[in-house]
Amino acid sequence: MCGVGLPGYGSTQKVLLTVLSDGEPRSSSELMKVAGLTARVVGNSLYRLWKAGSVLRTEKPIYEAFKAFKGRAGVKKNTRGYHLYLYRPISDSVFLRDLRFVKYSEKQLNRSLGSSKAELIRNFIKENSDRAFYSNEIVEALKEEDIEQRDIMSTVRRAESKGLIYVRGYRAHDRQTPFKDGFLLTWIDQEKPREEAIEQAVEKTNRTLAEKASTSPIIERVHRIRDMVIESTKLRDLVSFSFIQNTLGCTEYEAEGGVERAMQLYPDIREVKVFDNFRYYYHDSMPEKDLNAAMAMKENYIRIVKGRENRIGHNWEAVVGYFIDTFTTGARFWTQNHRNGGMDPRRITVHLIKPVGGRGQNAEVDRVWEVTPGLLLQSTTYVLECKWGLVGKKDVDDFFNIMRWSKEFGVDTLDGRQVKQGVVGVFAGSAFNPRDNVQLKDGSSISLATYAARMNVQLLKAADFNEKLRERGCSTKISVQKICRAARNEEEVREVLESVWKSSDRSEEILAAILENNKEVYDFEKRLEEGK
């Protein structure tokens, strides 16, 4: 078919009909390129052809992500909607390539106008201004109007910028994310003083969250955590993470999730770390004087109750460090100068581009060393993390995420953030939970060691070090666990291991001497524990 012999059509319309006469659906941008016409001319002509019944148009717009270079701003990615046009056959509607093409109607015209959808959404929220809705609830309520999730948030964000709608989600320190059912949305009364209107909007979202608590164990934990924090603050005290977990009667993982959600929902809940390790929580209404007094009390309590635990934990790090230093040859260890002069220079602080496990911008690892097998071969970097106690999947995940999100060991890839090639994690735990199997998506399970290996993380156990002592000829009554419990500090751990290594036949005698010399340490720790 050609453009000649199409009475009643303008020249532009004839050109467009000629292009579309091959039966292939095309967008206005495609027609612009073929016809060599401007967007305004093509758009106006297509509208007239659709209204006249000469072409059909897709019933719903097609959404695609487009990239555009914006100079110094870089590449911008936007989602845009467009229609395809089809030369009209005999019927009024056609299914082609899973798309429905329809003729012109006022209903179809209104659906194509974004303002009408936006008006429906705004009116729904305004007419129900006495309560708050999750965005998914609005989609369900307006589904007969072809309202989709993307219509909701694009409209709401524009209304939010004008101060018409209050939007609430999980709040982190630098961003806000939706709840399970989407963001909470409610109308802001424009006739009331701004402060009063915002307060009412917050209260409406609080009521909706409270209603959800009866069906959501996570939200129920969040509310109980907030109650505990407020209660302890009124008593001029801090509430510990372990107290929260024990009171909720849940697992550590569930308590972690509850605390994280509570701090996102209620920014007035604050966290403070005592000795950079023990987490406590309080409400920001607590006066600074009371906060300092409460922290001093917690520091004293930790010295009393956690003294032995801290000593053994640091001694375990010294055990692992000794064996790494002894058996690692041809390695170059990283070192750092620390403000704390007593801190081991081989303990490395890495910089995080995303918070991990409560750590903000920095995290610490116990050792980093590089091994180069040959002049022309790529070196391997080993990153060590130590933990005394029973180690589970959560600990391994936490260590892996530190490497992944660190500037030093992580890298952005097409599959997301990953650990750099040539970087191997080494996690040394005194014991690994044998029952902590990892469930896979297909329903099967693998051991923690296999799971760690898939992430290129090697696991070291106390039994591995004890095996080296046996090979050296040490008594079966000697173990690195006993040395950790017996030694006064990290320096003494290294001295004992060096003596045992050199004089393996005297290993029992050496350990007995340490136990005798440190009696006052054990007695003091026992008195502190009894006096707690």
Q: What is the pLDDT of residue 18?
A: 85
Query: Domains of the chain, with CATH numbers?
Result: 11-106 (1.10.10.10), 114-213 (1.10.10.10), 217-305 (1.10.10), 309-527 (3.40.1350)
Residue 337: the pLDDT is: 83
Paired tokens of 523: 């007695």
170: left (phi over 0), alpha (psi -120 to 50) or beta: beta
H-assigned helices in 180-332: 194-213, 217-234, 241-248, 252-265, 288-305, 307-327
What pLDDT is recorded for position 405? 93
- Distances in Å between the Cα of 281 and the Cα atoms of 122, 203, 239, 240, 328 are 39, 24, 5, 6, 42
Q: What is the pLDDT of residues 73-107, one digit of tens each?
A: 555 656 667 888 888 877 777 888 778 888 887 66
pLDDT computed for residue 420 by the predictor: 93
Residue 115 token pair: 């303002």
Which pLDDT belongs to residue 528?
52
Per-residue pLDDT, 381: 94
Backbone angles phi, psi at 349, to 5 degrees: -95, 125
Looking at residue 83, what DSSP letter applies? -
Distance linking the first and last C-alpha atoms of the chain? 95
User: How far is Cα 70 from Cα 316, in angstroms, rounded to an integer?
Assistant: 54
All residue ranges of the chain with pLDDT < 50 are 1-5, 113-115, 173, 214, 531-532
Nearest to 322 by CA among 496, 449, 167, 453: 496
From the list 475, 427, 449, 448, the residue with the least C-alpha distance to 324 is 427
Give residue 115's pLDDT. Answer: 46
Within its chain, how far is the Cα of 352 from the centroid? 13
- Burial class for 522, CB neighbours closer than 10 Å (0-12, 13-18, 19+): middle
